[in-house]
């Protein structure tokens, strides 16, 4: 693995190996904020300087991982739908929440992307991320539109809600050791914080039901 | 201002002056992530070492600002309600969204608190923040419960949604200069990102309507 990549295929493989290494480190360390490019290179079996040929910076690497997360979410939604049709609002919400909770590093990244990552790279790098992630987003809208009673504007609003809930609640549900100790001491605070999937599913269903009711009202979307 | 604080009143005044300085710097610089304790001390007219007598670290200072933000939100909700009663679900949502958008630094902090701030201080500091912010949270629930058709479990869920939307959408709506340039070049991306208040208000109303409909279903809360 320590040789210079010789072909386009090799480059793709190494690039993917680095993303996989970053993902597994994020899972082990409790979040992408603890991941470093050096540790990712070590995990992938590359020289640290070699890793820089694939990703300029931690931001560059994590943006790529976030873009891949959008594609994984798109694939998971398509697989979950599997030809379903006529889904009502709560069932549509469940497709989104059930699939996004299976992508914990993506949930984590969804909070980091607007707060730091996409704003801290150069404009062409940001453009590439936006293009890729919006393409997956639009494919999710398209797939759901064929399977759900909700229309595309409602689905776009529902996806925005799913992203906000997943991003916010994932962070709350993954405390540092200090905070985890506090939650053990004060269980009512821990209960509120750690309830990731049930809270996401509950609130997203409510949002979907409310969005479905405003059919015909086009304002605000 | 550069003398040592002599009385408890002086200490409180200086502590508040530092919080005010941090808030105004966050507004000017486009977010709390750009605020430093040194700049806050300068703005408040204190020696930098003097500021450390009030706040140990940037995290300590920003947690205090977030706790004050919770109290400001509580006060803004109480003022907005002003004896109202029988508010339906959309009107209840509007009370929350109209008041929280008036507290932009608080919206910004709501994303930073779970991601870094409350987990990066010692346990007693975290406990103090949690106690103070939950107290304000519970007073918001209490005030709304008297004015709204929604019950306390529904209101707690609605506040969780408001926090997630405000935190997530504020970050997206406040891009770096690089990202703002990209949004100017690709207006459809900018439109999605910059639509802070309308999107928050729209989605929170939908969530409230959905929560109101599940009256009687106690599961998942």
| Lowest model confidence (mean pLDDT) among A5-14, B8-17, B131-140, B173-182 | A5-14
Distance CA B18, CA A122 (A): 34
Facing residue for A176 by CB, picked from B120, B134, B203: B120
Q: What is the pLDDT of residues B159-206, one digit of tens each?
A: 999 999 999 999 999 999 999 999 999 999 998 888 999 999 999 999
Distance from CA of A1 to the nearest CA of B (A): 35
Predicted confidence at residue B200, as pLDDT, reads 98
Instruction: Kindly tell me if the per-residue pLDDT of B6 is higher than 80.
Output: no
CB atoms B160 and A199 under 8 Å: yes
Q: Which of residues 88-117 of B touch A (CB under 8 A)?
A: 89, 111-112, 114-116
CB atoms B186 and A130 under 8 Å: yes
A157: contact with B, CB 8 A cutoff: yes
DSSP, collapsed to helix, strand or coil, labels residue A149 as: coil
CA B149 vs CA B87, B88, B145, B202: distances in Å: 6, 6, 7, 19
Asked if residue A65 lies in contact with residue A16, where contact means CB atoms within 8 angstroms, the answer is no
Tally the residues of chain A: 221
Q: Tokens 């707060």 identify what position?
A: A115
Facing residue for A210 by CB, picked from B169, B175, B210: B210
Predicted confidence at residue A219, as pLDDT, reads 45
> pLDDT-derived band of residue A217, with 50, 70 and 90 as boundaries?
low
Q: From the candidates A152, A154, A164, A211, which should be mutated to test the interface with B, based on the most B CB atoms within 10 A?
A: A164
Distance CA A35, CA A58 (A): 8
Nearest to A94 by CA among A193, A170, A162, A167: A162
Distance CA A78, CA A84 (A): 10
Query: ipTM of this complex > 0.90?
Result: yes
Residues of B in contact with A172 (CB under 8 A): 114
What's the distance, CA B21 to chain centroid? Answer: 17
Nearest to B221 by CA among B171, B167, B159, B153: B153
Residues of A in contact with B168 (CB under 8 A): 111, 114, 163-164, 167-168
DSSP, collapsed to helix, strand or coil, labels residue B47 as: coil
Count interface pairs A-B at CB distance under 8 A.
144
As given in the structure block, the two tokens for residue B93 are: 């949502």
Q: What is the mean pLDDT of chain A?
A: 93
Distance CA A196, CA A198 (A): 6
Q: Percentage of residues in chain B with pLDDT exceeding 70?
A: 94
Distance from CA of A206 to the nearest CA of B (A): 4
DSSP, collapsed to helix, strand or coil, labels residue A87 as: strand
> pLDDT-derived band of residue B10, with 50, 70 and 90 as boundaries?
confident
CB atoms within 10 A of CB A85: 9
B125: contact with A, CB 8 A cutoff: no
B161: contact with A, CB 8 A cutoff: yes
Helix pair angle (A152-173, A123-147), 10° resolution? 120
B208: contact with A, CB 8 A cutoff: yes
Nearest to B96 by CA among B32, B149, B141, B153: B141
Asked if residue B32 lies in contact with residue B112, where contact means CB atoms within 8 angstroms, the answer is yes
Facing residue for B207 by CB, picked from A122, A181, A207: A207
Predicted confidence at residue A37, as pLDDT, reads 94
> pLDDT-derived band of residue A11, with 50, 70 and 90 as boundaries?
confident
Distance CA B102, CA B166 (A): 11
Q: Is B85 exposed, middle or buried (0-12, 13-18, 19+ CB in 10 A)?
A: exposed
Q: From the candidates B203, B214, B218, which should be mutated to test the interface with A, based on the most A CB atoms within 10 A?
A: B203
Instruction: Kindly tell me if the per-residue pLDDT of B16 is higher than 50.
Output: yes
As given in the structure block, the two tokens for residue B49 are: 């070492």
Buried b (16+ CB within 10 A) or exposed e, B44-66: bebeeebbeebbeebbbbbbbbb
Q: Which of residues 12-51 of A touch B (CB under 8 A)?
A: 33
As given in the structure block, the two tokens for residue B207 are: 């969530």
Q: Which of residues 135-154 of A touch B (CB under 8 A)?
A: none
Residues of A in contact with B186 (CB under 8 A): 127, 130
Asked if residue A208 lies in contact with residue A92, where contact means CB atoms within 8 angstroms, the answer is yes
Average pLDDT over residues B71-79: 98
Q: From the candidates A100, A179, A187, which should be mutated to test the interface with B, based on the most B CB atoms within 10 A?
A: A179
């Amino acid at each position: 693995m320590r040789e210079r990549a010789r072909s386009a295929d090799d480059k793709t493989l190494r690039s993917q190996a680095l993303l996989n290494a970053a993902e597994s480190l994020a899972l082990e360390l409790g979040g992408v904020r603890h991941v470093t490019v050096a540790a990712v290179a070590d995990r992938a079996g590359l020289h640290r300087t070699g890793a820089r040929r694939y990703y300029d910076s931690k931001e560059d690497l994590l943006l790529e991982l976030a873009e891949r997360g959008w594609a994984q979410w798109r694939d998971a939604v398509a697989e979950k739908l599997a030809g379903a049709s006529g889904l009502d609002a709560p069932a549509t919400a469940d497709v989104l929440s059930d699939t996004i909770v299976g992508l914990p590093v993506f949930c984590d990244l969804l909070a980091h992307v607007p707060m730091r990552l996409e704003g801290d790279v150069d404009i062409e790098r940001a453009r590439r991320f936006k293009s890729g992630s919006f393409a997956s987003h639009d494919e999710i809208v398209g797939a759901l539109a064929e399977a759900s009673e909700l229309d595309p504007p409602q689905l776009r609003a529902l996806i925005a809600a799913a992203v906000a809930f997943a991003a916010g609640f994932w962070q709350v549900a993954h405390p540092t050791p200090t905070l985890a100790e506090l939650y053990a001491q004060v269980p009512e605070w821990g209960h509120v914080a750690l309830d990731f999937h049930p809270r996401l599913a509950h609130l997203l269903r409510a949002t979907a039901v409310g969005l479905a009711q405003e059919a015909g009202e086009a304002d605000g979307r």
